[in-house]
Chains A and B, each alone.
Chain A
Amino acid sequence: MKFKLTLWRVIFIVIMVLGLYSSFVRYFRGLGAVSNMTDQFPWGLWIGFDCLCGVMLAAGGFCMVGAVYLFNVERLHAVVRPAVLTAFLGYLLFIVGLMFDLGRPWFIWHQIIYRNPHSVMFEVGFCVMTYTTVLFFEFLPNVFERLNWKTPIKWIQKIYPVLIVGGILLSTLHQSSLGSLYLIMPSKLHPFWYTPALPFFFFGSAVAVGLAMTIFESTQSAKAFGRQLELPVLVTLGGALLVALWVNLLLRFEDYFHRGLLREIFKPSYEAYFLWIELTLTFVIPITMLSFKKVRVSPQLLYLASISTVLGFITNRLNIALIGFETYVGHHYVPKWTEFSITLMIIAVGFALFGVAARYLPIFGEEEKHAVVHPRVRSAEATPVLSHAGD
């Protein structure tokens, strides 16, 4: 087979070379050499993006598993496998990201033996560890089907209810607990982002981003792998996303109202500018777009609305992790290029692994043959027609 040098492959190679150089700096020169983190800014881009955003971007897994296997929304069946794959890769890469950020990554296993139950970080770590295992088992049938191993599939089918309920429980816990990480810093984090409601917001944004990411990734893989786009699926997701965004919006403003900040957030200030970007991308653009039926039945426009949502919530988490501390610290933190390059490398590896898995495993379209969960009735309403699409 001949190796073709496409533009994307060139970009991939460049990212990998720079990333590997930065990894060398990280492990042989130390955190100080590779990053702009300081005693005043001990958490930088890697915690803000790789960890906080990474886990949020992988939320599609538990959202789709919940929709299809818990609530039995049959028509979303086709997106479960890609969503679980994304989540599994996302969590693996989150752990890889931690290996760069932790000062003593070789002791990461201390989490298992020196437990501190009062620590939110311990809870997050424990949930992530267990949930990655759950995702591994949810992903495994892909491999078994490919190898045509019937017996192990049956074993996994037996424990599937436990995996589903357990996976959603663990996701609820750690998605919200990522927000709880910041509850102990009321004097440091800017009031625009510090609120006792942080765990609720983190869970709410995870659900919204889970839906938006599924739209994004279905459209993206449709382009990349040239398969037919599941429009009824996207339409369902778009409708759910609109509801999720409204709930998030109402909760956010109820919180600002409750804490008497409603006037404050509209006054120009350094933090306000970042808040406005965040609110525009998370709420104004996608809610306006999705309110039109025309948008909800158009793959291209749905795709744009989901990108806006994802970027918005990424801004939200970066605001919490980085911008919200700048006034307290008294200076700005701008990540060093080596920090960016390691983050980019992790993302690039994620895309590459997704591509490989999609190519060699029955991720798309083949699940009808051996449904993972026991066979169930396909009633007439399970195959929605486009005429109901925008309802």
Chain B
Amino acid sequence: MSKAILYDATMCIGCKQCEGACAQQNHLPYDDAVAAESVQSAHKYTVVLTKDDKFMRRLCMHCQKPACASVCPVGALHKTAEGPVVYDVWKCIGCRYCMVACPFSQPRYEWQALNPRVRKCIMCPDRVVAGKPTACAEICPTGATRFGEREALINEAKQRIQQNPSNYRPHIYGLEEVGGTSVLLISSANVEDYGYPASARIGDTPMPEYTGRVMERIPDFIPLWTMVLGGIYWVSHRRDEVALAEAQEKNGSAK
């Protein structure tokens, strides 16, 4: 079954313990200076943003059908059966197509490194496989970040919105967006204010389908186009052969 993270912004107190736990889990530096950075970066996979005293986490959404994994020429990114979208650095050639393709602009790059890596939340795949929650969900003191089965979390999110409609916007961000994601958000604030792309803008179509529509035609196109080109070649050169033969015949009869 596919796992997911449910982030309920209304329960978040902005303690940033998820940031610290994430840094520790992924062996990234974390101190007061890093905590004060309000942007994601190559050394900060997740960030708790504050606006009008309301908090909002940002992290990789772990799309059900990830654009990053579909565009990677060497398959360095892939969606695991458990839900995380993980990165195999040893395959990566550094083309950065994943960064350009991601509808949430999540992957970050080690621009200063001489052998740079793509950096993003990988949803603690080792912990998830071992049946443990992600580091951020485990440490969250209020339950704002929860880890579990995607279906169960969707039901819980629906319930919370239903029981307390005045407290939430009636929308689970990530339920349908780009075909669904493994990170689900519910909040009282507008997610767009924190840099999330508007639902209408990214749509419900999984991103890989936009290229898939073209790519799936290539296996048919190759033999067809080869035959067309080969046919043209044959016809235009056959004309020459015929002309040559006719010319020789004429010369022969003139003698």
Interface residues of A (CB under 8 A from B): 27-33, 37-40, 42-43, 69-72, 101-105, 107-108, 110-111, 114-123, 125, 161, 164-165, 168-169, 172-173, 180-181, 183-188, 196, 199, 376-377, 379
Contact = CB atoms under 8 A, between A and B. Distances in A.
Contacts of A40: 105
Contacts of A39: 41-42, 99, 105, 107-109, 111
Contacts of B70: 116, 118-119, 184
A377 B244 contact: yes
B240 A30 contact: no
Contacts of B95: 101-103, 121
Given A169-B226, A173-B221, 16 more contacts: A31-B109, A70-B232, A71-B232, A71-B236, A72-B237, A103-B92, A107-B92, A107-B93, A111-B93, A118-B211, A122-B74, A123-B218, A183-B210, A183-B213, A184-B101, A187-B202
Contact of B93 (A27, A70, A105): A105
Interface of B: 41-42, 67, 70-76, 91-97, 99-101, 103, 105, 107-109, 111-116, 197, 201-203, 207-208, 210-215, 218, 221-222, 225-226, 229-230, 232-233, 236-237, 239-240, 243-244, 247
Contact of B96 (A69, A103, A125, A164): A103
A185 B112 CA distance: 26
B194 to A, nearest CB: 14
Contacts of A108: 93
Contacts of B112: 30, 32-33
Contacts of B226: 165, 169
Chain B interface secondary structure, helix, strand, loop or mixed? helix
A116 B92 contact: no
17 contacts: A32-B112, A39-B107, A42-B100, A70-B232, A70-B233, A103-B109, A118-B211, A119-B97, A125-B73, A165-B226, A169-B229, A180-B211, A180-B214, A184-B67, A184-B210, A187-B103, A196-B210
A290 to B, nearest CB: 26
B69 to A, nearest CB: 8
A32 B207 CA distance: 29
